Structure 1
């Protein structure tokens, strides 16, 4: 049986449906819909409850519901935008209907005294609650116009498509399903073991919930029919990552046994001992390097936990065996810092390094490329420039990728082509200081083994975090003045570079000017992402060399310099940033033995969620707890970074809500390991052509 015959077997093209011509089929194709079966798996992301009329007096902002009432007033309001405002009442309260776009016929239909039934989201307005451009229709005076009998599904859309059109097409697909079929790809033993409902029944239920459907479960995404499909979707993503792992490992890797020839003198020259956690993780990495299959290991460690030392030991093990190691960082600043650190550690051992980034040009670039190609450069450090085609390694044995979530999966996988003659893949060590919740590790990084450095080196002092309104800016400036007077250095972080009225963020350039005026005695400089790499690097080096007291910066310093003398960090508008990003920024201070502070200076008023988020950062320095909260509040895409979200866009699964399914998904993936046709069919059904990252 071929994959094509098992996937979409007997499913006609979507053009077989009534009303689907060439133009509509192109729009559907944008949603990944080309067959009727594709349409059946285009699942509702949520439901609207139009089955009951809600009293206006009980409405709250954010409610999405049906109301019914009589129009009390209907007037055109002139202002910045001309709008039609209607006041509607039902005996329990009043509400405003607001229309920015309206015709004379609409104005006449919305006359005083008319009875209306409306559906929309309730929002706060200047004079109480409002519905903006609600769906509406005239209601019978006796109120007997029927409401919907079941929940209304809401589908993912693309430009030029309307919900009503998609619902009509889905209804036709369900009619086809009565006589057609969809393939049950999960073995019966699996469905029985985990009590999973029939696929066909689940699809019908979710597209057209019956009158007696458990609305609460459906709206929460916890109905057995939803869980059945979420299970299969999570399985598809998991299988794809396992396919990635298999592809990387199918070529084999160089065996790199530890000889201690370089490792022992390296450890002896260090002014400190490794923590127990660093030793444990280094041993796990070392054991991987001895194997003939490529290491694929993710090392997680909070800011300052010493991941770079683990990378250095791994690089030495490669060099001991006569192979090259590459260290890749997401920014030139971080790559340059790695180069400086590695040079100090490695040059006394007689190890030659090469440095490659965008700013390395001309003769210097030619020299570096030659050293990489002839093997004289034993350790190569750089940015994504190392991926470029012109970069040829002599014998790359290990690739270390720092802050993996900043790179796409494609980039990481393309490293295997840099291995010896393309026949053996280099070992891969991926490092991140962004703690990743276990849920995401099990799903987004299923192709990687995982190690955690869960211990900070001695001497690191906890950072005191303070949340304060920007109305108390003078007090914050006084704190900066006092810290610098004691010989300490300060970061002042802004979230934007230029003034933005919409975001009300204090821009970095304006902040620098303001601070120069308020603190004329201090040496102040600015660094932001739009500066040239050379300028940026020069400013950062001056700060590191204590030639500056105060560094005004954007979030470009999130990953970067290690300045033990910096003991205060001010973050403006922290409510605009993710929790993990705030945690990363905070990690720039507290690197010395002196007491350090992080001041989160927010702009009032803060939303309830905003207060909750900043409270988490204030109350804990546990990066994993912060990451779990970040996942809960913002979703996986934000944590993993936009480069990877393509593989994390689910149709029905939700990593937070369905995290309990992940261990079962792993078990089933193992059971299917010897059934490649089924595995491929599951992936194809849920990811279509979006599994291309498995075919680099």
Structure 2
């Protein structure tokens, strides 16, 4: 029998070219796709529920006799049909109806209908139910299995999709849908046969546990989620292998430059910085490309570790590129690295998207001629940027860059043949469950120690009705010689309105705090203007800085010890934690005021409560994942995380350790099963493994 993955959907009865196009929109091109297009939920049409037992919000099949049918003139004209079954009564309401329909629902007609019972003016009502008249003494049989509800696209009905799935299920057999999980593996992890799981999920029996299915905890879902997560893991392993199979420049551990750098630094690196620094130094001395992720909480000193890595490559005579996702952060890195490296006689070049004309041409020439240290935005990925001998790429805030961009770096290596080592930094701690799945192609190092002298930030929640008190608090802090931030957050996702709000806030605060020097920084300003304001604030010439969330990452002013965040309920936890990390960078006690607008939603209350309770970025990341889900945290587009058909990273987190082991076993013992699995699950997703 032919494998279903090789049979086009046009082989099904009633599927011509037009229908095939519609099916392709939901990723259904062959019969295997149809079987893996699983229901979103189920309707229980396997029993008739007495009207008296119905609960509001319940979908149910009911039977009854029509007692009256009237056209009612309300805000919209509707046909209201009253039915009774001896246990109670219920109204059926139709907004779209014909005279023939009204005639067919005369008093005394027995009908069976299906729909959702909702509270109405006269007890429970069902809007636009599916219904049919019952003729004769014998009522029609009820369904024997739960009714699946599938994801649809325009021009596809549930009925049509159910018929196509029914047709395809009749062709399901061991040779038409091979189970690529070896029997031994399935037994070890107590996984049911694939065909049994697929059959069950398309047509659960009448006694199936609907709640268990709704929660995704059923054995059949568990079987498919395991296979899907396993495939995702294999694709990442394959990506890792393809990167590891390349050659990278092996660079001996540096001695001269790091010693000079540390002598100028003015403090000794923490134990964690030294440990991670040694891990990186070892990786850089190997011939295979380093792929290492450094996770460190806000202020853990990732940049110092990155600088030590850069010096190893620079001492060996190679180029280093450092990339950041925003101009403000890239500029900050540029200033920092100039300050650190120029005293060592190392030239630092700069490239950003906004650099135009002669300046851009000069920067491109400088890089092509071998400027040792290059700092910029993702403009460094562009094709026209040619490096002379790039050996190390440092990427800041990895979750803003996609897997594909990481791969694009390979072409930038020495002579286009050698692959640069990659060091990826993030100040957004990634929960272990996500790191195991989203970053399975990377080695991870954690900076779990804050530099000495850092003080935990005290966080308070204040309602915006006490705004005047908060302004006085700013006045008091600045009078003591401290500096403060006032952050305006996004208004309905509009950058323009947020910038306007920041300008208004700036004017209000300048008027209220006449004796203070107030600065303003937002996303619509030119990079030069932003840099100038930041420099003034850093130098202490401005006491208060009104800003949008452009200051979220990397801005370092140790004298700033107070931060006000307006409307913090609009932001995710990770972003709030990043913003709060701009204070507490010196030795003075620091405070963060979350100035919220009541009433808060339940999630809003939870989020802000967590911010008040903990300064630990990893705890915050776990909570953020629970409240928001993985796609939002990592940037859905880049990671493809929400393209899971069955699996859910939060719900199935407990499967990940077993999935990793199973992936390893499959690669070692059954390598020929890997490609068919990738083809089955990832053909429409991101092509992680095919690089």
Normalised TM-score (structure 1): 0.88
Q: 1:225 to 1:468 in 2, by over 3 A?
A: same
Asked whether 1:339 is paired with 2:334, we answer yes
Mean Cα displacement is larger for which, 146-155 or 65-74? 65-74
Question: What CA distance in whole angstroms lies between the structure 2 residues aligned with 1:108 and 1:664?
Answer: 59
Counterpart pick for 2:615 among 601, 621, 646: 621
Q: 1:504 to 1:302 in 2, by over 3 A?
A: closer
SS in 2 for 1:226: helix
Counterpart pick for 2:366 among 364, 371, 386: 371
- Please tell me whether the aligned partners of residues 497 and 509 of structure 1 are also in contact (alpha carbons under 8 angstroms): no
- Please tell me whether the aligned partners of residues 56 and 67 of structure 1 are also in contact (alpha carbons under 8 angstroms): no
Please give the per-residue CA displacement for 1:583-638, whole angstroms capped at 9, x wherever unaligned.
Answer: 11111111122222222233322222222222122211111111111112211111
Partner in structure 1 of residue 432 of structure 2: 438
- Please tell me whether the aligned partners of residues 323 and 395 of structure 1 are also in contact (alpha carbons under 8 angstroms): yes
Partner in structure 1 of residue 351 of structure 2: 356
Report how far residue 121 of structure 1 moved: 9.0
Question: What CA distance in whole angstroms lies between the structure 2 residues aligned with 1:93 and 1:403?
Answer: 61
Q: What is the Cα-based RMSD across aligned positions, in Å?
A: 3.6
Partner in structure 2 of residue 465 of structure 1: 459
In the TM superposition, 1:18-417 aligns within 5 A as 18-49=13-44, 53=49, 63=57, 65-66=59-60, 77-78=74-75, 102=96, 119-120=115-116, 135-137=129-131, 149-177=144-172, 181-375=176-370, 377-417=371-411
Asked whether 1:632 is paired with 2:626, we answer yes
Report how far residue 131 of structure 1 moved: 8.6
SS in 1 for 2:260: helix
Question: What CA distance in whole angstroms lies between the structure 1 residues aligned with 2:555 and 2:567?
Answer: 22
Asked whether 1:455 is paired with 2:449, we answer yes
In the TM superposition, 1:599-610 aligns within 5 A as 599-610=593-604
Counterpart pick for 1:688 among 667, 683, 688: 683
Question: What CA distance in whole angstroms lies between the structure 2 residues aligned with 1:88 and 1:613?
Answer: 47
Which 5+ residue runs of structure 2 have no aligned equivalent? none
Report how far residue 668 of structure 1 moved: 1.6
Question: What CA distance in whole angstroms lies between the structure 2 residues aligned with 1:93 and 1:489?
Answer: 70
Q: 1:25 to 1:457 in 2, by over 3 A?
A: same
- Please tell me whether the aligned partners of residues 494 and 506 of structure 1 are also in contact (alpha carbons under 8 angstroms): no
Report how far residue 92 of structure 1 moved: 11
- Please tell me whether the aligned partners of residues 236 and 688 of structure 2 are also in contact (alpha carbons under 8 angstroms): no
Report how far residue 677 of structure 1 moved: 3.0
SS in 2 for 1:26: helix
Q: 1:672 to 1:178 in 2, by over 3 A?
A: closer
SS in 2 for 1:672: helix
Report how far residue 519 of structure 1 moved: 3.5
SS in 2 for 1:692: coil
SS in 2 for 1:169: helix
- Please tell me whether the aligned partners of residues 115 and 127 of structure 2 are also in contact (alpha carbons under 8 angstroms): no
- Please tell me whether the aligned partners of residues 157 and 163 of structure 1 are also in contact (alpha carbons under 8 angstroms): yes
In the TM superposition, 1:416-431 aligns within 5 A as 416-431=410-425
Aligned residues: 680
Please give the per-residue CA displacement for 1:396-443, whole angstroms capped at 9, x wherever unaligned.
Answer: 110000001101111111111000122110100001001101111110
SS in 2 for 1:654: coil
Counterpart pick for 2:572 among 572, 575, 578: 578
Q: 1:44 to 1:475 in 2, by over 3 A?
A: farther
Report how far residue 109 of structure 1 moved: 9.0
Please give the per-residue CA displacement for 1:43-94, whole angstroms capped at 9, x wherever unaligned.
Answer: 223334555759899857xx5634869999985554xxx6869799999999
Report how far residue 480 of structure 1 moved: 2.6
Q: 1:265 to 1:29 in 2, by over 3 A?
A: same
SS in 1 for 2:687: helix
- Please tell me whether the aligned partners of residues 405 and 643 of structure 1 are also in contact (alpha carbons under 8 angstroms): no
Question: What CA distance in whole angstroms lies between the structure 2 residues aligned with 1:427 and 1:176?
Answer: 49
SS in 1 for 2:611: helix
Question: What CA distance in whole angstroms lies between the structure 2 residues aligned with 1:517 and 1:47?
Answer: 60
Mean Cα displacement is larger for which, 554-563 or 28-37? 554-563
Report how far residue 110 of structure 1 moved: 13
Q: 1:338 to 1:55 in 2, by over 3 A?
A: farther
Q: 1:418 to 1:84 in 2, by over 3 A?
A: farther
Counterpart pick for 1:17 among 6, 12, 18: 12
Report how far residue 463 of structure 1 moved: 1.1
Question: What CA distance in whole angstroms lies between the structure 2 residues aligned with 1:510 and 1:97?
Answer: 54
Question: What CA distance in whole angstroms lies between the structure 2 residues aligned with 1:437 and 1:317?
Answer: 30
Mean Cα displacement is larger for which, 327-336 or 47-56? 47-56
- Please tell me whether the aligned partners of residues 249 and 425 of structure 1 are also in contact (alpha carbons under 8 angstroms): no
Q: 1:643 to 1:66 in 2, by over 3 A?
A: same
- Please tell me whether the aligned partners of residues 173 and 195 of structure 2 are also in contact (alpha carbons under 8 angstroms): no
Give 1 or 2 for the bigger CA radius of gyration: 2
